Structure 1
């Protein structure tokens, strides 16, 4: 069996994968023992990881509602991870039924699960592609089938860029994607940081995974928004970005920055 040119035997289940680690920590079942063991080590190293991931998902929901309420009807979600209800298209269509969503991930297991979930819809697509090749993403025919790059797009890079190393040039990656978007588009981004606690032990968990964890400072994350204008409240920890309920105790330790920004030119 092939999926976008990948064979089933190409799926690496011998090492933890970030999407499957997250799936386990969020209570999902689409993971393997190697992912579960890595998740348990991660939680031991960073006790706030589960509430942090839940806060990140809640930020995603609020941000999607914000961009849809702002008039955007096309969403490009790169690094989507395994399906977690409510999914982006479910959140968006609760506000506007005509929203179109293109999902991208580099894990064949993610693509297979998401593809099965969304196969009945002609206004979604699921593409197996790599964020490190942003040109390949925006030029993919199944992306172009869903996304019209002449009209505003919400680009979602939620909890994904910290899996790019400095050698992967995350600022270049975001800039390439930004340049493909017209004015009026939005960037929705969250990124792990070590600004609030020493998380070197958490980083070590990912040394045996399929992608490393690359924590970045506030200033480094802010540079990823170059060419966009941050909307209020600017860059914030995920529980504090336009919360719709009071952030729970301990939120000040959550090591995720988040922001939503608009492309004006």
Structure 2
């Protein structure tokens, strides 16, 4: 459990932060003028990014519901971000109250919301670890206090690997985490994508990424669909593979959701 008695780190509101920009696009209130300015600058280049944020959140819900249907009851959610509606533990425990969830993030603003993230159903458990996801040994050691790593775990990496700029480091990070999990575990990834299709403008995404980075925001690396698929190396990727978040097992609807520049996939170890 985190030590809530320690003083909370100072929050830097002079530069935009990806978690706060994402919160702004989702309609949240945990953001500052600098985040809204950066978010609006990106919207001018990539008007659909707010829709992308909402589709990524909807994907999280569908993925967790699918995992619960497969008997998964343990979730390790890295790069948690700011709490909003239908966080991983809320979706999971709504269907399976005995689910156990560990959140991991290194952002001080997220730390101030740890108490909200730790609100668990009494039948289950919810914990928060302040750690850098690159320190995989610390992540797995901390998670083991709440999760039984000898049983299947869902490793959730939503919108976080795009902050690991080096491909080899991103691949190594995922592989190190998977080595610490039991067979039958699942890997869930969503990632900023620079694909160019009839519906997506890859150059617009690259300009949007530069907007955030030029303003001093968290570095971002958009990858191709093939580059995102490579992150699933060593697992069995489930249908429909790596696709736009809006196209991953969508809920029944009379219309087909448009692609968004955030791709996702689910695999089993």
Same topology, TM > 0.5: yes
After TM superposition, give the deviation of residue 167 of structure 1 in Å. Answer: 6.9
The answer to whether the 8 Å contact 1:104/1:128 transfers is yes
For 1:241 and 1:96, locate their aligned partners in 2 and report how far apart those are by CA, in whole Å.
22
The runs of 5 or more residues in structure 1 that have no matched partner are none
Aligned to 2:109, the other structure's residue is in SS state: helix
Q: Deviation per CA, 1:141-176, whole angstroms, max 9, x where unpaired? A: xx2221111000000001111111117711111111
For 1:250 and 1:241, locate their aligned partners in 2 and report how far apart those are by CA, in whole Å.
10
Residue correspondences, number: 259
Quickly say closer, same or farther: Cα 1:12–1:219, change in 2 above 3 A. Answer: same
Q: Deviation per CA, 1:116-152, whole angstroms, max 9, x where unpaired? A: 4525667100111111222221122xx2221111000
Aligned to 1:29, the other structure's residue is in SS state: coil
The answer to whether the 8 Å contact 1:195/1:218 transfers is yes
Quickly say closer, same or farther: Cα 1:166–1:70, change in 2 above 3 A. Answer: same
Mapping 1:131-210, distance limit 5 Å: 131-140=133-142, 143-166=143-166, 169-196=169-196, 197=201, 198=203, 199-207=205-213, 208-210=215-217
Quickly say closer, same or farther: Cα 1:120–1:95, change in 2 above 3 A. Answer: closer
After TM superposition, give the deviation of residue 12 of structure 1 in Å. Answer: 2.0
Partner residue, 1:217: 224
Mapping 1:118-137, distance limit 5 Å: 118=118, 123-137=125-139
Aligned to 1:109, the other structure's residue is in SS state: helix
Partner residue, 1:104: 104
Quickly say closer, same or farther: Cα 1:177–1:248, change in 2 above 3 A. Answer: farther
After TM superposition, give the deviation of residue 204 of structure 1 in Å. Answer: 1.2
After TM superposition, give the deviation of residue 19 of structure 1 in Å. Answer: 0.7
The answer to whether the 8 Å contact 1:6/1:108 transfers is no
Q: Which moved more, 1:94-103 or 1:206-215?
A: 206-215
Q: Which moved more, 1:117-126 or 1:102-111?
A: 117-126
The answer to whether the 8 Å contact 2:63/2:266 transfers is yes
Cα RMSD after superposing both structures: 2.1
The answer to whether the 8 Å contact 1:193/1:216 transfers is yes
The answer to whether the 8 Å contact 2:14/2:34 transfers is yes
The runs of 5 or more residues in structure 2 that have no matched partner are none
